[in-house]
Amino acid sequence: MFDSPPFVHLDVRSYFSLKDGAFPPEDLARRAAELRMPAVALTDRDGLYGAARFVQACARAGVKPILGATLTLGAGVAASVVLLAQDDEGYANLCRLITDAHMLGERGEPSLSPEQICAHAGDLVCLLGPSSPAGRLAIGRRLEAARRAASPLREAFGDRLFVSVQHHVERDSGAEVRAMLRLGEAIDTRAVATNAVRYLIPQDAFLADALECMREIVPIGRNNVTRTNAEGYLKSAREMRALFRERPDLCDATLEIAESCTFDIDLRRVHFPEFPTPGGRSASSVLAERCWRGMDHRSMKPTLLVRDRLDLELSMIHKLGYSAYFLTVADIVADIRAMGVRCACRGSAAGSLVCYLTGISDVDPVRHDLLFERFINPLREELPDIDIDVESARREDVYDMVLSRHGDDRAACVTMVDTYRARGAIREVGKALGLPEVEVGTVAKAFPHIGADHIRAAIEALPELAGSNLNAGQLELLFRVAERLDGFPRHLALHPSGIVLSNDELVKRVPLERSFQGYRMIQADKDDVELLGYLKLDVLGVRMLSAMRHALDEIARTEHVKVDLEEIPLDDLPTFELIRSSDTLGCFQIESPGQRELLQKLQPERWEDLIVDISLFRPGPVKSDMISPFLRRRAGMERPAYAHPKFRGALQETFGVIVYHEQVIRTIAAVTGYDLSTADRIRRHLSDALEVDAICEDFLARAKEQGLDGEAAERVWKEVSSFASFGFCKAHAAAFAVPTYQSAWLKARYPAHFLAGVLTHDPGMYPRRLILEDAREHGIAILPLDVNRSEPDYVAEVVEHEAEPPVPADTASHRYGIRLALKDVHGISDAEIRSILEARADRPFRDVGDFLRRTDVSRPVVEALAHAGAFDRIGAGSRRDRLYEAMVTDPQREGEQLALDVRPPLATSTAPASRISLPEYTDAEVVRAELEVLGVDATRHIVSFFEPLLEDLGVVRSRDLWRLRSDTWVMVAGVKVASQTPAVRSGQRIIFLTLDDATGPVDVTVFEKVQPKCARTVFHSYVLAVWGKLRRTGKKGVSIIAEDVWDLAALHRARRTGELDRALAKVGPAGASLPSRKLWHASGGSAGW
């Protein structure tokens, strides 16, 4: 079967020619190998996105890869030529051309002129096919025009230009072939056979139709599909040669061209960044010097341990060639700090002393016993990757700085390939097939549960589809396409964090394009970056850093103190008291209900305890229940156990329980006598089912050599192998512990300032209203919106007792309130906020009319401000008067009425004083207005309107729950502020809820067995009452195991009509009775919710 002379496909488009080719580059390599082709080209449209993956797959398949691209020429009717890289220079030219095509034209519409292509023709093969301008003309029997169109290319490419002849077995194919051959003769150019491959096998041609119609956004139908048959597949050599039976030379030419393309992209050869060093010194010596200087700066004693550690790291970094990378990153971090942007290093890089001494990381790896080998390991193929967290609000500034400082040709952002997920594909294909949108949406939603193989059953099971126009045949078609599109690239976006740092060779090996946001972005995703051998820096925007920055700015503004969070003591008692009482709402990493429960149990006393806490709160440790033995041993209820005294050193800090990757590494090293690098490599392969047996054998053999008895070795192996995948990188946890502690410190020391930051940047999992409630709990007054006082963001404000709402009595030490922010006013624009600030910088606003005259704020926003009470403290009358004024006053803006500005304008404004005052807002109206305008109940808690109901229900409030014994049946109530349904060990679905009842949070657990009767209410209601059993989780921590759940608002309504008993009746856990209810109480004082 394979005895035909070979053939090489030179015109092949994969799914990286977005919505054109119908296969991944890897499959191309595999299929070419199956067909025993010596080589195959990948020539995607205006891109080399698939290059790295393709080359890697070709190496595995044993096929020679040829890299090229199909370049779009001109705008409008898409003409194109195919270019193939012969060598390094050719590839550099190709990258340059693709970059130009993307960067010089409209974004998303890459194209070049023939002149541009001719200017960079060196070492590129050019295939002039039927889609090229000349080819089109030739096929249209305009040979002379075709000759003229081709001649510049002929001149630029010389004998590297070929006429590409395709025979797709269409009615006119014969004529086309003859026309192309005539063109070749006319410009004295050789011809080569190609097949414009878009799918690998004919059966997949339908995908190409679907992609084409989705690309052009037209319905799939005969008028919109260009192919007439399925001949554009990866034909075998025999098939290709049969097609061109009469001209075997056209097939032979493919081999010749393939021969001439010798370019090797050279995967995994690392391309280090450049770092200019003074006086020709090596980057390594500069790095060493910086580290020694850093030791001074960090006041670190150069003990023998420290010196050895530094030498080891520096020599490893030097050996691997990473010195310039570290210097570059250190400079970038210094630049970020110099911009006044908070930043923090995350991940395993925190395990490096070099990172600590050069200021990249703020964690002392010697003190915390972190391993460099977990970060950089010469035995690993991965390149080191440093992740820097920066203030989310400043991330783009940081990007701009890094990209401009590092140079256009040497740094660029990483691409993220957005791929089709089954659901999205169903929607899009459904649209293209012209199926009814609503029904397709239903099918898409139900997707993982219904698959292509049981569509008919699914249709019957989905009541929404009954009686619809969707029949099984259409659905089968839909699924046939949509399932295949799963994983196809949909479009390319900016990776949220990655920046490649390289030398100026970068643009010669990867094309660039512009992201939607305008950033220069390489045509490579993060995996490609690794394959292509580029070092990258991840810059992640973290909202908590912005929140802390805001807090620090507020402290500086109000207290005139410059707090340096890097210098705060790490054993601050109030901070640890706050952590131990799990008063950690708003704090980094430790605010979730689960974390607060863990804090209760763990009772952290030292900074190091935070590292343990963060490490333990992971699916792994939770799943394998490492927490219980750890806590028992820590509490002294159980003796620490070590499989062998040898491991005491590695495991002592966690009482013999393996918590960290670092401990796994150390234990393996201790048992086997291997160095830490080897031990880390072993750790990484422990979860590899194929290798684990061999590793085990070696482990036990080495243990024996090291003098460990067989039984002990077995025991250690069991522990190591079962805990390895669960453990957490201690360096990572230690890096996280820095902002965790800092945020807790800020909350303990400057709660108003800190919470103002949290409210402004919204970093956590809780809605703002819960944070506001938390502030109130801390005696911080929530100061109402005020046109003269409110700033764009939430700010801390010294409370003036006589003018402001009363401050709770128990907060003598708290002098601050939090002022509500203008930016949260519904509908307000930045320009309007600026206009308010500018006008009031002259003088405060006197009344609504004054505000209307001196600002450019639109009428609806002025009304919203009045409605929410922002004018309550100026002018006279009720809030309704002010709202009325805001609605009817004719705002003669400043300038139009300069002369009258000093007194209330008579003719143009309805003077409120002359009217009878309108009634003041009720409390309920005040809160409702706040919810409408600001989206939060700022002055009063929603729950406060249900007080009489809560009393009737016998609700126990959050602040009193801790006094109750375990297993007490209790009724709780509150606003739902968070719900999570994480996967847990037993596999059952558990819903974790946090309710807020105005005295604090109440954690509720809803187990699967009660979900049938509760789930609907839990998910759909906003205010809930829960009947359940109290479970103690720590000293002050409790959670409620739900037995039944009601919608509080529904109960409220039932109570007003005297039907509360009936509404509650469906409850009835055996053996537990509801607390007595005082239903005869009148329902007076109801707010009307």
Partner 1 sequence: MTKHYDEEVRVERDAGMPSAFEWRGRRYEVADVIGRWRIEGRWWADGRDREYWRVEAKGGAVWDLYHDRLRDAWHLERLWD
Rounded to whole angstroms, the Cα distance separating 580 from 747 reads: 13
- Subset of 452-491 contacting partner 1 (CB under 8 A): 477
Q: Is 708 left (phi over 0), alpha (psi -120 to 50) or beta?
A: beta
Given the complex with partner 1, which of 219 and 1058 has the nearer CB atom? 219
- Complex with partner 1: residue 171 or 560, whichever CB lies closer: 171
d(CA 73, CA 152): 14
In the complex, what is the shortest distance from the CB of residue 7 to partner 1, in angstroms, rounded to a whole number? 20
Q: Is 227 in the site for partner 1 (CB under 8 A)?
A: yes
CB nearer to partner 1: give 219 or 321: 219
The residue (of 245 and 301) whose beta carbon lies closer to partner 1 is 245
User: Does 12 help bind partner 1 (rule: CB under 8 A)?
Assistant: no
Q: Which is nearer to partner 1, 16 or 206 (CB)?
A: 206
Please identify, using beta-carbon distances, which residue of 204 and 397 lies nearer to partner 1.
204
Q: Which H or E run contains 1023?
A: strand 1023-1032
Which residues, at least 6 apart from 919, have a Cβ–Cβ distance to it below 8 Å? 878, 880
Residues 428-447 contacting partner 1, CB under 8 A = 433
Q: Are strands 816-819 and 535-542 parallel, antiparallel or unpaired?
A: unpaired
CB-wise, 240 or 317, nearer to partner 1? Answer: 240
Structure tokens, 935: 């989206």
Burial of 389 by CB count in 10 Å (0-12 exposed, 13-18 middle, 19+ buried)? Answer: buried
169 binds partner 1 (CB under 8 A): yes
Min dist. Cβ of residue 202 to partner 1 (A): 7
How far is CA 425 from each of CA 204, 422, 457, 881, rounded to the nearest angstrom? Answer: 17, 5, 21, 55
With beta carbons less than 8 A apart as the criterion, state whether 478 and 512 touch: no
Q: How far is the CB of 232 from partner 1 (least distance, A)?
A: 11
Question: Is residue 222 a contact point for partner 1 (CB under 8 A)?
Answer: yes
Site string for partner 1, 593-622 (x = CB under 8 A): ------------------------------
CB of 77 vs partner 1, minimal distance in Å: 23
Helix (H, G, I), strand (E, B) or coil at 1005: strand
What is d(CA 1012, CA 260) in angstroms, rounded to the nearest whole number? Answer: 69
> Which lies closer to partner 1 via its Cβ, residue 473 or residue 806?
473
Gap between the Cα atoms of 420 and 416, Å rounded: 13
Sheet containing 489-501, strands listed edge to edge, beginning at the edge strand earlier in sequence: 343-346, 386-391, 535-542, 489-501, 411-419, 520-522, 512-514
Residue number, 340 or 436, with CB nearest to partner 1? 436
Among 174, 248, 378, 496, binds partner 1 (CB under 8 A): 174
Cα 740 from Cα 693, distance rounded (Å): 40
Identify which range of 109-117, 224-232, 411-419, 953-961 contacts partner 1 by CB under 8 A.
224-232
Distance in Å, CB of 486 to partner 1, minimum = 19
Stretch that binds partner 1, among 142-150, 227-235, 459-467, 1008-1016 (CB under 8 A): 227-235
Assign 890 to helix, strand or coil.
coil
State which residue, 231 or 832, has the beta carbon closest to partner 1.
231
Closest approach of Cβ 454 to partner 1, in Å?
21
Instruction: Tell me which of 26, 87, 89, 170 binds partner 1, using CB under 8 A.
Output: 170
Q: C-beta of 734: minimal distance to partner 1 in Å?
A: 58
Q: 203 or 652, CB closer to partner 1?
A: 203
Q: Please say which residue, 233 or 322, places its beta carbon nearer to partner 1.
A: 233
Nearer to partner 1, 225 or 765 (CB): 225
Strands 512-514 and 520-522: antiparallel
Please state, in angstroms and as integers, the Cα–Cα distance from residue 558 to each residue in 555, 686, 742, 754, 1022, following that order: 5, 54, 19, 13, 37
Interface with partner 1 (CB under 8 A), residue from 173, 277, 468, 829: 173
Only one of the segments 12-20, 200-208, 305-313, 1050-1058 lies at the binding site for partner 1 (rule: CB under 8 A); that segment is: 200-208
- Other Cβ atoms less than 10 A from the Cβ of 810: the count is 8
The window from 5-13, 168-176, 408-416, 920-928 that contacts partner 1 (CB under 8 A) reads 168-176
Q: What is the DSSP letter of 846?
A: -
Q: Measured from the CB of residue 170, what is the shortest distance to partner 1 in angstroms?
A: 5
Q: Which stretch binds partner 1 (CB under 8 A): 96-104, 203-211, 790-798, 1033-1041?
A: 203-211
Please state the closest distance from residue 174 (CB atom) to partner 1, in A: 6
Shortest spacing between CB 220 and partner 1, in angstroms: 5
Residue 220 binding partner 1, by CB under 8 A: yes
Q: Which stretch binds partner 1 (CB under 8 A): 164-172, 331-339, 871-879, 968-976?
A: 164-172
Size of the site for partner 1 (CB under 8 A): 20
If phi > 0 it is left, if psi is from -120 to 50 it is alpha, else beta; for residue 937 that is beta
Return the bridge partners of 192, or none: 164
Task: Kindly indicate which of the ranges 40-48, 170-178, 682-690, 1075-1083 contains the residues binding partner 1, using the contact rule CB under 8 A.
Answer: 170-178
Q: Which residues, 103 to 132, sit near partner 1 by CB under 8 A?
A: none
User: β-strand 161-166 against 124-128: which pairing, if any?
Assistant: parallel
Rounded Cα distance between 365 and 600, Å, is 28
Nearer to partner 1, 241 or 1052 (CB): 241
- Rg of the chain (C-alpha set): 35
Q: Which of 359, 748, 762 is nearest to 550 (CA)?
A: 762
Written as six digits, the tokens of 876 are 């006279």
Say whether residue 388 binds partner 1 (CB under 8 A).
Answer: no
Closest distance of CB 24 from partner 1, Å: 22
* CA 582 to chain CA mean position, Å: 28
**Residue 986 has which token pair?**
């037993």
- What dihedral do alpha carbons 274, 278, 282, 288 form, nearest 10°? -100
**End-to-end alpha carbon distance in the chain:** 81
CA distance 948 to 942: 13
Residue 221 or 1088 having the CB closest to partner 1: 221
Q: Select from 9-17, 229-237, 406-414, 1035-1043 the region that touches partner 1 (CB under 8 A).
A: 229-237
- Residue range at the interface with partner 1 (CB under 8 A); choices 225-233, 540-548, 629-637, 1066-1074: 225-233
CA 1024 to chain centre: 32
Residue of the chain from 115, 171, 693, 903 that contacts partner 1 (CB under 8 A): 171
Does the footprint of partner 1 cover residue 229 (CB under 8 A)?
yes
Among 74, 140, 158, 221, which residue interacts with partner 1 (rule: CB under 8 A)?
221
Beta carbon nearer to partner 1, 230 or 267: 230
- Is 71 in contact with 112 (CB distance < 8 Å)? yes
User: What does the angle CA 412 – CA 352 – CA 370 come to, to the nearest 5 degrees?
Assistant: 135
The amino acid occupying position 393 is: A
Local structure of 148: helix, strand or coil: helix
Pick 239 or 925: Cβ nearer partner 1 = 239
* The binder of partner 1 chosen from 78, 216, 228, 639 (CB under 8 A): 228
Q: Which two tokens stand for residue 895?
A: 């300038």
Which secondary-structure segment (H or E) carries 704? helix 692-705
| Closest to partner 1 by CB, 245 or 1020 | 245
User: By the criterion CB under 8 A, which residues form the site for partner 1?
Assistant: 169-171, 173-174, 202, 205-206, 209, 220-222, 225, 227-231, 433, 477
